[in-house]
Structure 1
Amino acid sequence: MEVIYQYAWLIPVLPLLGAMLVGLGLISLNQVTNRLRRLNAALIISTMGAVMGLSFALLWSQIQGHPPYTRTLEWAAAGNFHLSMGYTIDHLTALMLVIVTTVAFLVMVYTDGYMAHDPGYVRFYAYLSLFGSSMLGLVVSPNLVQIYIFWELVGMCSYLLVGFWYDRKAAADAAQKAFVTNRVGDFGLLLGILGLFWATGSFDFGVIGDRLSQLVQTGSLSNVLAILFAILVFLGPAAKSAQFPLHVWLPDAMEGPTPISALIHAATMVAAGVFLIARMYPVFEHVPAAMNVIAFTGAFTAFLGATIAITQNDIKKGLAYSTISQLGYMVMAMGVGAYSAGLFHLMTHAYFKAMLFLGSGSVIHGMEAVAGHDPNLAQDMRLMGGLRKYMPVTATTFLIGCLAISGVPPFAGFWSKDEILGAAFNANPVLWGIGWLTAGITAFYMFRMYFLTFEGKFRGNLRQLWQKLKSPEGMAIVTGFDAAPAFGPGAMTKGELEATEEHYHDDHGHDHGHSEYPHESPWTMTLPLVLLAIPSLLIGLVGTPFANYFEEFIFPPTETLAEVTEKAALFNPTEFYIMAGSSVGISLIGITLASLLYLLGKINPVAIARKIKPLYELSLNKWYFDDFYHSVFVIGLRRLARQVMEVDFRVVDGAVNLTGFFTLISGEGLKYLENGRAQFYALIIFGAVLGLVIIFGVT
């Protein structure tokens, strides 16, 4: 087993090699590389498959009791300063490696079907592999500096992938918004890292925590500074995990291809924020004020995301706000000290949310056969309905995901969410109340999404509804896409799209965008859905309160297994049944309300929206955060930039130009004094001396 640890450095390297090979091929032999699309895809998928196998071997070894393994090399040294780079394999790393590689592998398989007709197919795989390498490098990092390097790399990959269809203005704007918003959090993280190094002299997680605690206890470091450093570090995870107030980038990031939404913006990169909080837990747990900030930020974000998701009509935007909400649960768990529960929910959520996003991609793929490649139509749930009849595999797996995220037993989400709510109740009943209410809202909006998409009659061939949604008023409701449709999933030119449609017609018997009803997706898209449904259904069983194997494997670094086992022995079944009953009850209420409104039609949702119009508009307009940020920061910074430009033009440039002007004038004037006549020079000297004598005589 020791051998696999010695070669664990290959985990981030293999996907990087795949990305480099394909990338070099695209740069040097573009046409040949694009023609060999399946070969390139097979190379990328194979490298991720090999890494996945190695990750499972490491996880099994850690489960069997192998001690944590760290291997580092000195990277930089100056006096007493030493910086090492390397990799570490412990329980948390092994778990995250398996989550990242399994989801990435299945997303890569799915991509073959989803991006089949996209001209950027090979480039997309290269970006995917580069992201996989960056994320895996982040997970195995043994210190804060290395984490920060890979933290920035995954942010760069997110920028590339969100803006993959860069000729769509909406995608280009979304990529910029994601990048800039994350820069705010990353700057805070950098300041926090530097502050902690200044205080403790180390970048190692455990050492920082111990030294910071000692410094605060002895009075060598003020508690205010410790709180400041901890909150600055938290800004990084707040941005990356889309927490209030830096949550606004994630819904816009849905402009990227759906496989990216599943991999980066549901299962891995957005979970990196929670992972960093877990890594920095030895620091945070010694700063109670920072823990409270983390807990309440997570709770409010969970509620915020859920309330906005209620009114979304775009299937991907609805799932995006759902992701924000679920990440809020994880952050709240870390803030109340429920380390194991937060990471347990990270794991369960990664699988069922990846499945839900891939399911939405399957729906969009099917709808494009009817509505064409206009995202305003293909992603709008008001044009769907009855898809269970045409897409049974997608519908079944989507239903499993809805049940899991709603916290219905025995699905995975029930066990992890209930553990978080129990810990929140013990820490602060207010946090529990917010989480409990959010659980009901979650069940409501997820089943609203399911009923609108898969139940009832198919509405996609109602041309009057098409025209209504394509009108300016309809476009305004569809959450901010460009009014002009982009051709093709890769924003192809019209000619490329027509050629693709002819090919699709030859293969499938109908024109893409000209069918009357949608169709089930190819096996490369449905197989990952089925495989992800298995952990969505069963993986929660490893963390039941009756036999919590997960908690015995993942626990805070400052605790021992004996302490964890001792706590587990205090389990009270009655308390569990009461808490579980309350959370399941509120979820069932949410599901029932959704069925009355959107399945049975017993209640008219339009009438309710009119009665509570201010609340409805608050949700529909995303609590006006985007409007506020645009008015204050975007417009404000533009005005500031104009003022700075005026100062630069009139003051700075004016001073420079004035200096040049005086130099020119003085030069022009003095050149007439250079006439070569000695008597004239003597006269000037005499006049200068006389002037000095007069001046000094007067003074």
Structure 2
Amino acid sequence: MTVFLLQAAWLIPAYPLLAAVASLAWSPGLISRTGPRPCGYLNLLMVAVAFGHSLVALTALHTNARAGAEALYRPISFGWTWLDTAGLRVGFDGLVTEPALIAMAVITGLHLLVQIYAIGYLEMDWGWPRFFGSLSFFEAGLCALVLTDSVFFSYVILELLTLGTYLIVGTWYNQPLVVKGARDAFLTKRIGDLILLAGVIALLPMTGTWNFHGLQGWAADLTNNGTPLPMGFQLILLALIAGPMGKCAQIPLHLWLDEAMESPLPSTVLRNSVVVVGGAWVLLRLEPLLELSPFVQAVLVVVGGSTAVVASLIALAQVDVKRALSFLVSSWLGLLFVAVGLGGTAVADHLLLVYPLPMALLLMAIGTIVI
């Protein structure tokens, strides 16, 4: 049974996605009959199922000798074709790897804590279906992001997460500051997404593939054969890092995270602990390509180092503890950018792994500090 759940780990994003779609059924007419609570409990149940599946799959990977060896050295792959025409094939290709299972266990576990927290935080709020459905939509997108092996679909999922940010930040849409925060977060992240799209489109004719493992092999062949970088490739790499810069709130695309604090605190917990890490995940997957260009690595060091220093200084001057933590998020992820730029992939992985849970617990305890 555990081996089957490991092989079916690609279903994990489907549980919260199903809950998000089911949340649409709570129309205003139905809410007047049942109240909003059943929708919140349904989302909580599906998130718990996703978390349980992630844990069982991760346990099976390490305890079952046969399944573990196959999954570690020959990861389970899956995929389907989305577009196949005129010699162009675009498909969603995914891999169930050990890092992906660990990431999904962290994502679903923190989502479970956040939704339990949100039940108490929004006890008297009638916007449960919209809020809980958006949280589940976010979880589905993040789990799909760690599973996909395609840089094109990574871009697509990052776009969906940008839309999800707009919906969640704008939960209390009758407040002017909330509307401004949602709009600024959406537009700022869209700048990075559009530049990322240009890089993704230009990447395919040059490398012949959008799969991360295919790109890794292409970069290795380029290095082993001593072939010079194709013309314009450094511009493509600069475009590819623009998306992670926007998602990770790096200078100059850093102000949206501070303004997004106008959203309910449970969504802030989620956004500052795991959502911003989605951009860092994509950056780490692109690391074999980034190693080909010392100039792009230097740009990462400058951007990350500047953000780490400037954001820390801004945090010191804040009188609102939530805003101080938002700038510290940018600062921490700036250190991760520096690690990637210096070629310290192991250090970057460590910074990524130890970050989400402490930040989530800090934000969950922030109400007690304020009181």
TM-score using structure 2 length: 0.92
Mapping 1:137-156, distance limit 5 Å: 137-156=144-163
Higher relative contact order (CA 8 A, sep 6+): 2
> What letter is aligned with 2:96?
I
Q: Does 1:109 align with 2:116?
A: yes
After superposition, the Cα gap between the structure-2 partners of 1:345 and 1:215, relative to the gap in structure 1 and judged at 3 Å, is: closer
Alignment correspondent of 1:3? 4
The residue that corresponds to 2:59 in the other structure is: 60
1:215 Cα offset (Å) = 5.4
Provide the secondary structure at the position in 1 that maps to 2:13.
helix
Cα displacement string for residues 556-590 of structure 1 (whole angstroms, at most 9, x for unaligned residues): xxxxxxxxxxxxxxxxxxxxxxxxxxxxxxxxxxx
Aligned amino acid, residue 14 of structure 1: Y
Decide which of 207, 217, 221 is 2:230's aligned counterpart. Answer: 221
Alignment correspondent of 2:241:
234
Deviations 1:100-148 (A, max 9, x none): 1111110011111111112213321111111111111112112112211
Opposite residue 45 of structure 2, the aligned amino acid is S
Match of 2:84 among 51, 71, 77: 77
Unaligned runs of 5+ in 1: 368-699
Amino acid at match of 2:230: L
Secondary structure of the 2:95 match is strand
Cα distance change on mapping 1:285 and 1:50 into 2, 3 Å: same
Secondary structure of the 1:245 match is: coil
Q: Does the CA contact (< 8 Å) of 1:215 and 1:221 recur in 2?
A: no
1:343–1:121: structure 2 CA closer, same or farther, 3 Å change rule? same
Whole-angstrom CA distance in 2 between matches of 1:86 and 1:11: 15
Which SS does the other structure have where 2:27 is aligned?
A: helix
Distance 1:28 1:142 in 2: 42
Contact 1:294–1:332 under 8 Å retained in 2: yes
What is the match of residue 304 of structure 2?
Answer: 298
1:200 pairs with one of 198, 207, 231: 207
- Report the Cα distance in structure 2 between the residues aligned to 1:72 and 1:237, rounded to whole angstroms: 24
Q: Which moved more, 1:212-221 or 1:172-181?
A: 212-221
Q: In the alignment, which residue of structure 1 is the partner of 2:321?
A: 315
Percent of aligned pairs with the same amino acid: 28
- Structure 1 residue 41 corresponds to structure 2 residue 40: yes
**Bigger CA radius of gyration:** 1
Q: Which letter does structure 2 place at the counterpart of 1:102? A: G
Paired residues of 1:230 and 1:284 also in contact (CA < 8 A) = yes
- Structure 1 distance, partners of 2:305, 2:99, is 24
User: Contact 2:258–2:326 at 8 Å: present in 1 too?
Assistant: yes
Matching residue's letter, 1:218:
T
Contact 1:188 1:233 in 2 (8 A): yes
- 1:338 is matched with which residue? 344
Distance 1:32 1:87, change over 3 A: farther
Instruction: Give the conservation status (yes or no) of the 8 Å contact 1:22–1:126.
Output: yes
- Does the CA contact (< 8 Å) of 2:151 and 2:211 recur in 1? yes
Matches within 5 A, 1:6-17: 6-17=7-18
Matches within 5 A, 1:140-289: 140-212=147-219, 214=221, 217-219=226-228, 221-222=230-231, 225-264=232-271, 266-289=272-295
Say whether the 8 Å CA contact 2:150–2:212 is kept in structure 1: yes
**2:65: which partner in 1?**
none
1:171 aligns to what SS in structure 2? Answer: helix
Distance 1:28 1:86, change over 3 A: farther
Correspondence 1:569-648 to 2 at 5 A? none
What amino acid is the match of 2:46? T
**Shift of the alpha carbon at 1:362?**
4.2
Q: Give distance in 1, aligned partners of 2:108 and 2:368.
A: 21
Shift of 1:40: 2.1
Unmatched 5+ residue regions in structure 2? 63-67
SS at match of 1:243: coil
Tell me if the contact between 2:37 and 2:128 (Cα under 8 Å) persists in the aligned partners: no
Q: Tell me the SS of whatever aligns to 1:24.
A: coil
Q: 1:194 to 1:4 in 2, by over 3 A?
A: same
Q: Aligned match of 1:347 in 326, 349, 353? A: 353
What is the alpha-carbon distance in structure 1 between the residues aligned to residue 124 and residue 155 of structure 2?
36
Aligned counterparts, 1:286-685, within 5 A: 286-364=292-370, 367=371
Check whether the contact 1:196–1:208 (CA below 8 A) recurs between aligned residues.
no
CA distance in 2, matches of 1:235, 1:139: 19
Aligned to 1:560: none
Q: Secondary structure at the match of 1:135?
A: helix
**In the aligned structure 2, how far is the partner of 1:306 from the partner of 1:246?**
16
Amino acid at match of 2:227: T
- CA spacing shift, 1:303–1:74, aligned 2, 3 Å: same
Distance 2:58 2:283 in 1: 21
State the distance in 2 between where 1:259 and 1:130 align: 15
- Counterpart AA for 2:44: I
Name the TM-score, length of structure 1 as normaliser. 0.50
- Tell me if 1:99 matches 2:100: no
CA RMSD of aligned residues (A): 1.8
- C-alpha displacement of 1:330: 1.5
Q: Is residue 4–residue 54 contact of structure 1 (8 Å, CA) maintained in 2?
A: yes
Q: In 2, distance between residues paired with 1:74 and 1:42? A: 35
- The total of aligned residue pairs comes to 360
Say which SS state the counterpart of residue 268 (structure 1) adopts.
helix
Contact 1:110 1:259 survives alignment (8 Å):
yes
Call closer, same or farther: CA 1:259–1:362 in 2, change over 3 Å.
farther
CA distance in 1, matches of 2:28, 2:288: 45
**Cα deviation per residue 1:168-196 (whole Å; 9 max; x = unaligned)?**
10010011101111111001111111111
- Aligned-partner Cα distance in 2 for 1:194–1:230: 12
- Residue 203 of structure 1 aligns to a residue in which SS? coil
Write out per-residue CA displacement over residues 346-398 of structure 1, whole angstroms, 9 at most, x where no aligned residue: 2211011111111113445xx4xxxxxxxxxxxxxxxxxxxxxxxxxxxxxxx
Whole-angstrom distance in 1 between the partners of 2:149 and 2:222: 23
| CA deviation map 1:580-631 (0-9, x unaligned) | xxxxxxxxxxxxxxxxxxxxxxxxxxxxxxxxxxxxxxxxxxxxxxxxxxxx
Q: Which residue identity lines up with residue 179 of structure 1 in the other structure?
A: F
- Cα–Cα, structure 1 residues 72 and 2, in superposed 2: closer, same or farther, change >3 Å? farther
CA distance in 2, matches of 1:32, 1:104: 28
- 1:82: Cα distance to partner? 1.6
